[in-house]
Amino acid sequence: MQFPAIITTDQVALMIGTTVPLFRAKREHMIEDLGFPEPLPHCARPMRWRTNQVLAWLEAQGRPRDLPPPERPMGPNVFLLEEARRA
């Protein structure tokens, strides 16, 4: 698929292989911890990115891995809830 030089949040999500809500939720983490490019400063809403920067990040970093699932709570009530779901 060919992308224009400047892309929107929807196009970034498509390019990196995730959903728009998941990209929006992880965007700050990706920028701060994974070196994902910042959105263009003059485009507050809708946010826009340079396609070549996103492609360079993908090439250097690969697709971002999903964060590990949160720890499951433990205790007797959790066991009872699990049993109730199976019934």
- The mean-pLDDT minimum among 47-56, 66-75, 78-87 falls in 66-75
Confidence class for position 87, pLDDT limits 50, 70, 90:
low
Tally the domains of the chain.
1
Structural domain range at position 62 = 6-86
pTM, two decimals, is: 0.63
Residue 1 belongs to some domain of the structure: no
Q: Which residue has the higher pLDDT, 87 or 31?
A: 31
| Contact call for residues 46 and 9 (beta carbons, < 8 A) | yes
The mean pLDDT of the chain is: 79
- Peptide bond preceding 70 in cis form (omega within 30 of 0): no
CATH classification of the domain holding 68? 1.10.10
Judge whether residue 79 has pLDDT over 80: no
DSSP E strand boundaries for the chain: 6-8, 48-50
